[in-house]
Structures are given as structure tokens and as C-alpha cells.
Structure 1
Amino acid sequence: TAMSANSPFWQGQDSGYGSYRSRVWNRLPSAGATDVFGSADRYHEQVRAMVDTGVLRDEGMIWFDARLSAAYPTVEVRVADVCLEAFTPVLLAALVRGLVETAAREWRDGRPPAAISTSLLRLASWRAGRSGLDGPLLHPRTMRETSPGGAVEALYAHVREALADHGDDERVREGIARLMERGNGARVQRELLRTEGDLAAVVTRCARLTTPPAG
């Protein structure tokens, strides 16, 4: 969330958040972090129970941070904001694949998941949406305050072996270096507002960033 944060403005004003969109998303009834299910059967039991309440129309309204796809044999991780530049989702896709692969390897080795409560995960999520890459984050292992660089480095170190095995290590290191130097979309948008003076001009400049140069 912090790396992808790209929604600092809300209703024409600076929200104070790097990713205010993540806060809006988490108003949905099934959105956010979940407890560890422990097995696919328990996951599906929970999903059926939630749909059976009538609050959710169908499985498509299961908006967990990470969920099993209803249509494909894959895991969907849904914490990212809508990114400003194309290199960021490429970076995040590689990191997410590294996270899933690392978790699968730990399960095969008989290592249990980290004992971090859903309450702490929700706090970490809020902190990431608030700070983006411009303020403190929670360290993904200790759940204690750390710098943005410290949190990103801990994430990279956790998945580095899987990244290397998939041929993603160099791409991820370069992407992280670029992101930490340039900043995420929220930082870029705020800098544009300071130089351009109004949000309409910011939108125009951001649209140009998504358009490849002619020729």
C-alpha cells in the first residue's frame, strides 16, 4: 500500500494520506486483513458463511486483502492503490509473487505463519495508507515503527530468494531504488500541485505520465 500510494487528494483537498483510496476501500464490509484460515476448506467455509448472511451478494464481494480467485487457480492480493507509472505495478507484481512463493515454501517446510494478529495488520495497513513513503511505517516482522526504507528493505530481504529463483531480483532492486528516489504517485502529485498550482493541471500532467512518448 505504501509503495503504490497514489491518492493524496479527496474532494479537491489534500487528505493528509498517501493513499486515501485505501481508506475508502476499507469501508467495504469484507475488506481488509483476515485471520489465518489454516486450510483451503476453512477459507471456503468462511466465505460461504459470509455470503449466507445476506450482507454480501456473492463470492465476488469477498474483498479480503488476499483471497483465492473464484475463477482461476491463483491468489489475488488486493492491497495496492492505482499506480501512477507502469513500472510500479510491475515491481509490485514481482514482490507479490515472491511473497506467495515464500509463504508456500515455508508451509512445505512445516514453518507456521508469523503470529501477527489481524488487529496489528489493520494498524499496519492504516499506517501505510496514511504515510505512503513519506512517513513512518510498521516493520513487517516486529510491527514496530520504522522508516519507509527500513520497511521496504525488510520486505525485499524476506522474498529475495524467491525473487532470485524467478529471475526477478535485479528488476525488483532497480524498481525499489527508482521508487525510493522518485517517490510514489502521492509524492509526485503533491510536488506537481506545488509547481502547477491547481488540481486540474495535476491531472493533466499525470495523464501525460501514463502516455508513451511519440515515436
Structure 2
Amino acid sequence: MRTFGVEEEFLIVDPVNGVPLPLSAEVMGLHGDSSRATGASARQMLSAELHQEQLEVITHPHGSLAGLAEEILDGRAYADALARKAGARIVALATSPLAVSPHPTRNERYDALVEKYALTAREQLTCGLHVHVSVDSDEEGVAVLDRIRSWLPSLMALSSNSPFWNGQDSGYASFRTQAWNRWSSAGPMEVFGSARAYHALVAVISATGVVINPDFDARLSARHPTVEIRVSDVCLDPRDTVLIAALVRALVETAAREWKAGVEPDRVPAIVLRQGVWMASRWGIRGELLHPATHRPDTAEHVISALHDHVRDALVESGDEAYVEEGLTRVLGNGTGADRQRQSYEQNGRLADVVTDAIGLTHREPVDHHSSGNGSPSWTWRPLAEAVA
């Protein structure tokens, strides 16, 4: 069984007015103090990010979906407990609904990024979900990257959770994607063909002096024997994080099997894939997506169904099929984080309430979402571990 893990980036916010707060250094200090005092948080891995209004929570590798789900919940709870000590909360929003002027984290790496990329870096207060899946070699990893390209916009649509930007509705389901693609090496790539070709291209890009580790939508990890899938927004509902992770692992396993069976990758040009990325960013699951088989517009339901069919065998063998089937039905019926943020704003008309509502969703597990008769959502809850089981 391939192991997998996730990195979730969160905003640190004022729990009353929803404004992002530059407290990552204080939270990381509390993390260090807690680890030294008790050792109880040793399994929790936290990291600062580009801006002080952000915090990243990193899981260990897991073989089972249940184990990963448990650590995702534990990580969110632990980071939030530290933030509370600093008078803040963490929230799973991929962009801030409220206007904010971010404060860059001061270290050599981030200072260089801000100096080089200027406004692109200064405005890059975005939170993503990165999924790592183990591979046996760089050769297998690149073969996987070549064979999952067309499916990645579907994951972006399912995870879309950033409709607001700079205090207004952007019109996009994932405006984080639009902001992220300002980086010079972001986005889908052409088919590499081999590990040698992949590393040669990375070397050429690095030699330009613009980037060191390219921000491809999917890449070989520079630190771990994994492929790293980077297209998703951080998910508001932790169940959606688990769903995306399960789909990514199944995609990687399916692609590796295709490679071993001699199945050639789809050599659709990257510029066509960029149109699929744009469509997923614009509408999420509430509009058309590019179908990975035809590269023509199709309904989101049909495209997500094709993704499910494509990875079904791998899901069945890993024991993840029942959870994924339920999760896809739930997201297609109830909506993504972007839909829930807009629902919150429509009910209250206040962006601060969007954030405070999102805090509750970040740290609890919604089960059923239905109309209460007046058009407003109603929620019940149960443990995520029960849902995975």
C-alpha cells in the first residue's frame, strides 16, 4: 500500500472580526514550548509560511485513510489550541474574505522571495492543500506525473474554497488558483517522458535564477520519495481533505500501473490543460469542466464521475472506495467550501461572519446539509473517524 500524507495551510484570524493576524512566530514559539515541556506534541509537525498570518500543519506518512484522517483532525485541533493561547483561531480558508495587508515572514528564503517577486509575493496570502504519495523511484514518479496531468483540474474543482479576495466576491470558486499562478513556474507542464528529462528541465529553470524549486501543479518532492500534488485549496471541511487525499493516492497508483503496463500518457498540450485549470478555478463544481478524455467541456458531474471510474480499482483495493463514493456524493450535493462561504455571506451579508462560520466548520465534521425550509442550511455532526470507518 502506498503511503500518503498531507500539508494543510491555514489562516490565523481574530475570532471576533475575522481579520488575519500576524501571529505565526508566536504560535510556533508556543509549539516549541509545548514540545519541550511535555513531549505530547512531538507527533504534530507545524511550519511557518510565507506570511505571518499563515500556519502549516503537516502529517506523517500513513498507510490507511483512517490513520490519516485521525492525524488531520488532531493537527487542526492542536494548531488551533496554540492559536487560542495567542488570542486567535486557525481557519481553513484558502484566501481571506476580508481585505488584508500580509506581513512577510522574515528569514533568508522568504526575504529573497519578496525581494524578487515584489507584489506577487507580498499579496500571496493563500492556503493550499498538498498531498504527498510515495513512489518507488524518480522514474516511477515522473511516469505518474505524466499520466495524472489531465485529472488534476477535477481535484481543484472539488476542493475549491476561495471565492473572496480583497473584501469582495471574486467571481471564482478558487481565486487562490488565480493568485498562485502568478508565480513564474506555476501550472501544468508538458509530458516529461523520463526522470532524466524532468531533472534536466528543473536544472534549466533553476539556472535562470528566477526559481530554485519550481512550483509545478505536480512535482517530485525535493525532500521525500514522493510525488507532491499541489492544485487543491485547503478544504474547509476536514472530510474533504481526506477525500482529496484518497483520490490522489488512487490516481498515483492507477498511473503507476498504466506505466508498468506500457500505457502511453495523454500528450495533450499544457496550454489546453491550462484552460481546464481556469474552468475549474472559475466555477468549481457549479459549471462545466474539461473532460480529461476528450478535452471538451462537460458537466462537472460527468467529469467527477469519470475521475471516480478511472481510479475505482485502486480505491477498492485500498479499501477507500466506500468513503470516496460517499464523499463525492456529498460534495456534489452539498457543495464545496466556496459554496458554503457564499451561503454564509448571503445569509448574513458580513464577511466577518463568513470567517467565524468557517472556524466552526474547520474544527467540526458536518454530516448532513439540507434546507431548513427557508433556504438556510442546517447541519448535524459526527466524528470523522466514524465516517471513514
> What range is the shorter-chain TM-score in?
over 0.9
SS in 2 for 1:157: helix
Counterpart position of 1:193: 345
Give distance in 1, aligned partners of 2:326 and 2:353: 30
Quote the offset at 1:165 in angstroms.
1.2
Secondary structure of residue in 2 paired with 1:79: strand
Greater radius of gyration (CA): 2
Question: Aligned AA for 2:301?
Answer: G
* 1:42-81 deviation per Cα after TM superposition (whole angstroms, max 9, x unaligned): 111111111111111x22xx11011000111110011001
TM-score by length of 1: 0.95
Give yes or no for the alignment of 1:37 onto 2:192: yes
1:158-179 residue CA offsets vs partner (Å, 9 max, x unmatched): 1111111111111110110111
> CA offset at residue 148 of structure 1?
1.1
- For residue 235 of structure 2, the aligned residue among 83, 88, 93 is 83
What SS class does the counterpart of residue 188 from structure 2 fall into?
coil
Q: Which residue of structure 1 aligns with residue 254 of structure 2?
A: 102
What SS class does the counterpart of residue 78 from structure 1 fall into?
A: strand
Higher relative contact order (CA 8 A, sep 6+): 1
Q: Residue 157 of structure 2: SS of its match in structure 1?
A: coil
Q: Which residue number corresponds to residue 169 of structure 2?
A: 14
**Corresponding residue for residue 204 of structure 1:** 356
Residue in 1 that maps onto 2:183: 28
Structure 1 residue 135: deviation in Å?
1.0
TM-aligned CA deviation for residue 211 of structure 1: 2.2
Matched, 1:52 2:207: yes
1:210, CA displacement in angstroms?
A: 1.3
> What SS does structure 2 have at the residue aligned with 1:80?
strand
The runs of 5 or more residues in structure 1 that have no matched partner are none
The equivalent residue for 1:147 is 299
**Cα offset, 1:115, TM superposition:** 2.5
Give me the whole-angstrom Cα distance separating, in 2, the residues matched to 1:152 and 1:71: 31
Would you say how many aligned residue pairs link Structure 1 and Structure 2?
211
Q: Secondary structure at the match of 1:27?
A: coil
Q: Structure 2 unaligned runs (5+)? A: 1-155, 365-380, 384-389
CA distance in 1, matches of 2:363, 2:331: 19
The sequence identity of aligned pairs, in percent, is 50
> What residue is the counterpart of 1:159 in the other structure?
311
**2:324 corresponds to which residue?**
172
2:221 to 63, 69, 76: 69
Match of 2:268 in 1: 116
CA deviation string 1:74-112 (max 9, x = no partner): 100110011111011110111111111111111100110
**What SS class does the counterpart of residue 352 from structure 2 fall into?**
helix
2:335 corresponds to 1:183: yes
Give, in angstroms, the shift of residue 40 of structure 1. Answer: 0.8
